[in-house]
Amino acid sequence: MRILLLCNKSPYPASEGGPIAMNMIIEGLIHAGHTVKVLAISSNKYQVDHSDIPEEYRQKTGIELVYVDLSIKPLAAFRNLFPGHSYHVERFISPEFKNVLIRILVQENFDVVQFEMLYMSPYIELVRKYSNARIVLRAHNTEHLIWKRIADTTRNPFRRFYLGHLATRLKNYELSVILRFDGIAAITEQDAAFFRDAISRKSRGRQMKARAASLQHPADRFPEVIAIPFGIEPGKFPETTGESEFPSLFSIGAMDWIPNLDGIRWFLDHAWPEIHKKFPSLHYYLAGRNIPDHLKERPDPNVEIVGEVKNAADFMRSKAILLVPLFSGSGIRIKIIEGMALGKTIISTTLGAEGIHCTPGRDIFIADTAEQFVRSVSACVMDKSLCQAVGKEARDLVFREFNCEQIISRLLAFYQQIGA
């Protein structure tokens, strides 16, 4: 098969959640013997120079990048207050991207065009016009739900109102556009259930309108939905050799993603003071790109700001207990999957563990309050053998349920299904 991926950011380098998930699909499809072409946005938020991409990667993916300025523009953001606009999506509309896409579609034939994330959906009609390919949405998240959860946890009433408004606009757009795809590959069962329910309600609505007008039942074909999680290649996660720093706590993730930043600030404000009081020699390491100055300048004792690391896996191997304090967001937390594959002990929230069929106390610790974080950290710090046992169970879980080869096989079967 020939597959074109339209990406809202470059899958190379695979240094944060979205690119890691995209690259897993790309590498998996190529390994399975299929031809992949990548057209991606490079932006002020995630800028990649084509010349910095290794020649081997360029050759096997045919990757092309188009620069799009995603900075916030006050006038356009103001327009979002009025019906018919979703500023989240409108920022990704680019004449330059459109022209490159047309050229690619005219020059090459594809069996599938996969839209990586909702933000690429303004280009659906362009693909329909220039290609007979089946169109798939790879839904990394339920996008509006991220912003709804951010709004729900925001204290400032004006900011909460605006973010809630953004979420409503985005939800309306999300619900209106999903019927234009042939298939939706959600990253979690929870997200897949949302899309199935929305499509079912749309279908019932059309049936009722048809009956009311005494028309024959409309023969519209609605998109198929499947849950296709993120996958790992077990061979890339050998058992850790050598001692990690025990006890030690760490978090890693892009700090320009609001749910990550809000979660870390909450943990430092509400849980860390008590943890430090109980374990005054315990260190908490914070790694990730774009850590803001106000986080670096906090006076929290024994909190080490590492910043962006060259090799995330090596950094994770060197520490003991991974904290993922998330209270907003959607989709699946790739760093949890990777941490589990490395045999790390994970402490996260119920929301953070969403999409992972884990069992609290066996392969993960779940903490939704400051007190629960303190108890979970205490249990892990005081019992190294417990950490090792939980880490082993976590490793077994992801090797069993998140195997890349099996996931790619399911995705290819889904392509065939929607093309039937």
pLDDT in tens, 130-161: 999 999 999 988 777 777 777 787 878 888 88
- What does pTM read for this prediction? 0.85
Give the integer Cα–Cα distance in Å for 129 and 125.
Answer: 6
Give the integer Cα–Cα distance in Å for 353 and 325.
Answer: 10
> Coil, strand, or helix at residue 240?
coil
Fold match, 2-231+404-419 / 235-401: yes
List C-alpha distances in Å: 258 to 86, 153, 356. 18, 11, 22
- 218 with 177: CB under 8 angstroms? no
pLDDT by residue, tens only, the chain of 420 residues: 999 999 999 999 988 889 999 999 999 999 999 999 999 999 988 899 999 999 999 999 999 999 999 876 655 555 555 555 566 788 899 999 999 999 999 999 999 999 999 989 999 999 999 999 999 999 988 777 777 777 787 878 888 887 787 778 888 888 889 999 999 999 999 999 999 999 988 776 665 565 555 544 444 678 999 999 999 998 888 877 667 899 999 999 988 888 899 999 999 999 999 999 999 999 999 999 889 999 999 999 999 999 999 999 999 999 999 999 999 877 789 999 999 999 999 999 999 999 899 999 999 999 999 999 999 999 999 999 999 999 999 999 999 999 999 999 999 999 999 985
- Identify the CA nearest to 196 among candidates 163, 168, 222, 176: 222
**Tokens of residue 37, six digits:** 């072409």
Write the single-letter amino acid at 75. L
List C-alpha distances in Å: 179 to 223, 386, 399. 6, 48, 34
Q: How many helices (H) and strands (E) does the chain have?
A: 17, 13
Give the integer Cα–Cα distance in Å for 195 and 331.
Answer: 13
Task: Enumerate the domain spans of the chain.
Answer: 2-231+404-419, 235-401
Give the integer Cα–Cα distance in Å for 194 and 346.
Answer: 27
Give the integer Cα–Cα distance in Å for 403 and 165.
Answer: 39
Q: Which CATH number fits domain 2-231+404-419: 3.30.70.1290, 3.40.50.2020, 1.10.3720.10, 3.40.50.2000?
A: 3.40.50.2000
Burial of 112-125, coded b for 16+ CB within 10 Å and e otherwise, reads bbbbbbbbbbbbbe
pLDDT in tens, 299-336: 999 999 999 999 999 999 999 999 999 998 777 899 99
**What superfamily in CATH does domain 235-401 come from?**
Glycogen Phosphorylase B; (3.40.50.2000)
Structure confidence at residue 268 (pLDDT): 97
